[in-house]
A and B are shown apart, each in its own frame.
Chain A
């Protein structure tokens, strides 16, 4: 691993006035280029907020975010969203009024790519996620299974050839078999395209399967961030220990 920092968060806090405790509490984190970082935590631990800070959907109350060594504010946020990050959303991810083709190519169309280019790219991506273009191009989301929908969601995140994929519990609503298949797809994707992946989950076995490094979050703080072996062998807090043991079925 090259060990080059892609994204760095320094002393980030996020406070919503309507809540008494901070959602993110003086949190620091760096994400290496080409790694897959899985953030795990129970609901309300602040993991989705963390992800939204990265592509500017939320703004930190204090602290700074650097991307490739430059402050996030010096970038055009729309550019970042369209072509630096690819976002895969929780549950509802596709626009119901657009076909598979239209959904996947939407970001390309926003940036005024030619229809021919869009079509070609959509077909490549469908091939990659193993959905045959002839069958799926003109289908609407409600004509797809849950697994197929999330595959299309992943394809959309890849469309603009972004460097970093942000995935917010993308497989949370799927059955175990489909989930397992899709996790394999993510591993394949990582190996084939060398993308940096930030993946959110509340499932420890998913975290173990996908993560080069795992960050355990609770109450707006990172309890521990390390490789899965390290996490298993030397948990820093009782919460981490309990989590790991649950994941291993002990």
Chain B
């Protein structure tokens, strides 16, 4: 160890710095290089596991009393013999504790891999987070914790088995009982893990549907999935909750998903990175062409609604002041107060742009978290909030969106994006989806979102209800 002190210091430093990189960021960085799912997850987990093992091994070897090394020297050990017979056995407890640390953190980090479609227990956690459903989070987190415990216990048994002294344990019977209990639990959770993990295979007639990680995306993706399952013989694999736009888009390019719902404005600004000056006509057409040429991706027709940003007011307030669009608000603005989440206040396409375009001069602007925003306006603490135009909470809070009549925002029409190759291979997909093109209005989408966000229904149930209410399932 002493001979390579330069390399050793470098390795340990690099290792400890690397531990400060958030694992999610690391996953996201790897996606463009190695794709979604299993491989990047394994890479990242390996990466994070190496350091604690390395560090503890090093510390363990460092802390061996020098007397023992001298004895080994005096008895004529070769350096490898010293390593095998003296150093490693004496450092063994430290090495094992590093292994235990690494195991626990690996199991924890593995749940994060659900963000890049690796599935597993993390799926429940990400869905739970996206839907704000603590039961779902527990469904993922509790087995994960038990899994970690079970593995930790397994390693400690392994350690005892390897290292040691065949001493009789006085409380052998107690341990036997505990072992049975813990072993059983471990098996149970391992079983549930594999059972619940979506096992995708690509062999025959399969379409993989993806989504970002918020309810509206889940509902739209579910509607598409159920329609395709109903009208075609294709097998549908769901890879929902994939996180940011960039991630989902990359997944589509890599062929890790075949289809997902996207918004025209997002595609224009975030994916194509084009500037918006409020004047472009036929944005959908332009996005469609660019996607075809640049990415070989196909936009299908819009679902019929646009999920843009705007300001919302209470319905009674709108009626009393005869408000319909943002321009109507300008003359009143100096007596009104606004609540908005931090990013809406800071982003240039947020409040700053709105003020400039409409000449707003609000009495008061309050920065609050998105969930608190609705509480403040319901209790009349503020008059106006920033909102997405299909937000499910608009319904329960009895709010109304004011129209962006000067087109500050590009149209955010929602529509399915499909890989061209899949479209050519399975033209039946577009046909299967065609009944929902243009039939979901903003109001309908708000209702659907509200069922998930406010009433806690599952996206799949909401999608099924919507399809059967509109008689879109084929009669069998």
A145 to chain B, nearest CB (A): 18
20 interchain pairs (CB within 8 A)?
A55-B74, A57-B70, A57-B74, A78-B78, A81-B73, A81-B74, A81-B75, A87-B71, A89-B67, A89-B74, A92-B67, A95-B86, A95-B90, A96-B90, A97-B90, A106-B75, A110-B77, A110-B85, A138-B166, A140-B165
> Does B89 make an interface contact (CB < 8 A)?
yes
A-facing mask of B401-445, CB < 8 A → 1, else 0?
000000000000000000000000000000000000000000000
Whether B81 pairs with A110 at a CB distance below 8 angstroms is yes
* Complex interface: chain A residues within 8 A of B71 (CB): 87, 89, 92-93, 95
Chain A-chain B contacts (Cβ-Cβ < 8 Å), number: 53
B76 touches A110 (CB 8 A): yes
Which of A82, A93, A106, A107 has the largest count of B CB atoms less than 10 A from its CB? A106
Q: Does B67 lie within 8 Å of A87, measured CB to CB? A: no
Shortest CB distance B95–A (Å): 13
Question: How many residues on B have C-beta within 8 angstroms of the other chain's C-beta atoms?
Answer: 20
Decide yes or no whether A127 CB sits under 8 A from chain B: no
Cross-chain contact A82 with B89 (CB below 8 angstroms): no
A34-86 interface with B by 8 A CB criterion: 52, 55, 57, 77-82
* 9 tightest A-B CB contacts, nearest first: A81-B76, A82-B76, A97-B89, A78-B76, A87-B74, A92-B67, A107-B75, A89-B71, A110-B81
Sample of 10 further A-B pairs with CB below 8 A, known A57-B73, A97-B90 = A57-B70, A82-B75, A87-B74, A95-B85, A106-B75, A107-B75, A107-B76, A110-B76, A110-B77, A140-B165
Chain B positions 51 through 80: 1 when the CB is less than 8 Å from some CB of chain A, otherwise 0: 000000000000001011011011111100
CA distance A55 to B72 in the complex (A): 13
Chain B residues within 8 Å of A, Cβ to Cβ:
65, 67-68, 70-71, 73-78, 81, 85-86, 89-90, 92, 163, 165-166
Distance of A208 from chain B, by nearest CB (Å): 27
Residue picked from A77, A79, A92, A138, most chain B C-beta under 10 Å: A92
Which of B70, B75, B90, B92 has the most chain A CB atoms inside 10 A of its CB? B75
Q: Could you say which residues of chain A place their CB within 8 Å of the CB of B65? A: 92
Residue in chain A with minimal CB distance to B92: A97
| Contacting pair B165 A79 (CB below 8 A) | no
A120 to chain B, nearest CB (A): 20
Interface, chain A (partner B; CB < 8 A): 52, 55, 57, 77-82, 87, 89, 91-93, 95-98, 106-107, 110, 138, 140, 156
Q: Is the CB of B89 within 8 A of A87?
A: no
Shortest Cβ distance from residue B231 to the other chain A in the assembled complex, whole angstroms: 68
In angstroms, Cα B432 to Cα A82, docked, is: 83
CB distance from B210 to the nearest CB of A (A): 54
Alpha-carbon distance A92/B70, docked complex (angstroms): 11
B89 to chain A, nearest CB (A): 4
State how many angstroms separate the Cβ of B30 from the closest Cβ of chain A: 41
User: In the assembly, what is the distance between CA of A89 and CA of B74, in Å?
Assistant: 9
Q: Which residues of B contact A92 (CB under 8 A)?
A: 65, 67-68, 71
**Bound state CA distance, A57 and B81, in angstroms?**
17
Q: Which residues of B contact A106 (CB under 8 A)?
A: 75, 85
List the B residue with the shortest CB-CB distance to A159.
B75
Query: B77 — nearest CB in chain A belongs to which residue?
Result: A110
Max count, chain A CB within 10 A of own CB: residue among B74, B89, B166: B74
Which residue from chain A places its CB closest to the CB of B90 in the assembled complex? Answer: A97
Q: Which single residue of chain A is at the shortest CB-CB distance from B72?
A: A95
Min distance, Cβ A171 to any Cβ of chain B, angstroms: 17
Q: Chain B residues near A95 (CB, 8 Å)? A: 68, 71, 85-86, 90
A90 CB to closest chain B CB, in angstroms? 8
Please report the C-alpha to C-alpha distance between residue A93 and residue B376 in the assembled complex, in whole angstroms: 75
Q: Which residue on chain B has the smallest CB distance to residue A86? A: B75
Question: Complex: how many Å from CA A138 to CA B70?
Answer: 24
Residues of A within 8 A of B81 (CB): 110
Contacting residues, chain B, for A79 (C-beta < 8 A): 76
